[in-house]
Each structure stands twice: as structure tokens, then as C-alpha cells.
Amino acid sequence: MQSKLFDLSGQTALVTGAACGLGLAFTEILSEHGARVAMLDIDAAALQRSAKRLRDQGRAVDEHVVDVGDRTRLRGVTDAVAKQGRLDIVFANAGISAGPGYKTAVGQIEAVQDEAWQRVLDINLTSVFVTLQAAAAPMKRQRSGRIIVVSSIAGIKSEAPVGYAYAATKAAINNLVRQAAMELAPFNIMVNAIAPGPFRTNIAGGRINQPEVEAMFAAMVPLGRIGEPDEIKGLALLLASPAASFLTGTVIPIDGGSTAA
């Protein structure tokens, strides 16, 4: 008999920032294991392309053009997805770079601009809270759910290549996860964070795909290379699946050993 440990059939999931990068990897693995996935993204064209490709493979995905910085729209879409039936799994994944870190002139403390700081707080912190808030209501009624927040190792330790607002927001959401995990534990809702090291995605305009930038990040990783989006799928599936029924309130690095160094 096949194990049901990683079976998501009949479950409904929602992923923010699902059109590309890690969010697309989460969507792929959840839908491969039987979940219906609501894909939310600000980039309508990329969202449509990715959703169509997955539907052509027989996956159950729906697309919703959403700027997670728009609280009303984010809440409205999350409520609408939940009202279609259930809301079992939510990935608060959408996030943006705050530009390069303090080793460049534009990343130093005195160069940080108010408007850029605020936008990163809105997307990387407030939108994560709003996603959590919108997910918690239907999950409390169901008395079950999984919320997975996508943080970064930059929220655990200092990371020279990232901007101040990025480091601050990722640290903030790690504690948001612990706090929410306590409130939601009696409702059988698990709240955890994934903290990736450098992965090959389009973040910061795909800067990591430039050979010299990739080499700089790879040199910081004990495994000697950056991660590929497919390599985040196992951990994502674990946290979303019945296999993780006693796992909550954690921040799990997936970083080729970087935080241990």
C-alpha cells in the first residue's frame, strides 16, 4: 500500500508569488501531490504562462492577479478561495529584494531611502501578516491548517549581500511565525518558516544568474554552490503534508550548510 504521508489529495492550497522562482516550485510540488493550488502573483503575464503550463500537465491550479501590498485585494482573494470549500495550506512566499548590502555604496545605512524601506516592509512583512491573518480565520473554523512563511537565512544571521530592510523583515517574520504558532496550536494549525540560502530565481532582477554574482554567493555556501528551485520542494512538501503533524513554530534553514558555518 502506498504511504499517505505525503498525500495532499482533496486539499486546497494558496501560494503568494507563485508565478516563478520558489513560489512556482511550491505550486508544482503541491499540485503534483494532489492539492488544488490558488496561484497569486502581481505579474499577470508570468502567472498566466506558469498556470497554463501546469494545467496542460493536468494539474489543478487557478490564477489570481494580486499585489500582496494591496491588503483589501489579498484578503478578498484569500476569503474567496476559502469559501469555495476549504483552505488547508498557505505559503506566504511573495517577497522582494531591498537591493545590495552594505559592501556597496547604495546599500550602506545612510543611503537607504524612506520609500524603498517602506515598500520592502509592506511586501516582506505586512503582507506576510495579512496572509497569515486571512488564512487563520477559515483554518480556525476547520480546526486544521498549515501555514508556511518563506523567510531567509538573512533573518537568522547577518548577510553582507542583502539590504537592511530585507534583513529586518526576514527576522521579523521569523518571530511572527513563532507567535502565531502558539495562538494557532490549539486549533491544530501548524505555522513554520522556511529560511532559504541563495537559490537561482528571478529575485533582484535575476542578479544571481550573473556568473560573478553566482560565484560570490556560492563561495558563502559550504556545499560550494547555490540552490536550484527544485531543491526546495522536499522541505515544502514535508511542511504541507500529513508527515509534519507534530511540527510547528520552527524556522528551518535550507542553505547548503550556511547557517552552520
In terms of Cα–Cα distance, which of 232, 256, 238, 254 is closest to 21? Answer: 232
Give the H or E element holding residue 62. Answer: strand 61-65
Nearer to ligand NAD, 69 or 76 (CB): 69
107 in Cβ contact with 99 (< 8 Å) = yes
Contact between 95 and ligand NAD (CB under 6 A)? yes
Contact between 107 and ligand NAD (CB under 6 A)? no
Listed in sequence order, the DSSP H helices in 84-202 are: 114-121, 127-142, 164-184
x/- contact string, 109-138, with ligand NAD (CB under 6 A)? --------------x---------------
- The residues with which 92 forms a beta bridge, in sequence order, are 149
x/- contact string, 157-186, with ligand NAD (CB under 6 A)? ------------------------------
In the complex, minimum distance from the CB of residue 87 to ligand NAD, in angstroms, rounded to a whole number: 18
Give the Å distances, CA to CA, from 126 to 8, 92, 206: 29, 11, 24
Contact between 99 and ligand NAD (CB under 6 A)? no
In the complex, minimum distance from the CB of residue 108 to ligand NAD, in angstroms, rounded to a whole number: 21
Contact between 42 and ligand NAD (CB under 6 A)? yes
Is 102 catalytic? The answer is: no
CA trace torsion 250, 155, 144, 34 (10° rounding)? -100
Backbone torsions φ then ψ of 180, nearest 5 degrees: -65, -35
x/- contact string, 185-204, with ligand NAD (CB under 6 A)? -----------x-xx-xxx-
In the complex, minimum distance from the CB of residue 44 to ligand NAD, in angstroms, rounded to a whole number: 9
**What whole-number distance in Å separates Cα of residue 141 and Cα of residue 96?**
32
Contacting positions for ligand NAD (CB under 6 A): 16-17, 19-23, 41-43, 46, 66-69, 93-96, 123, 150, 152, 196, 198-199, 201-203
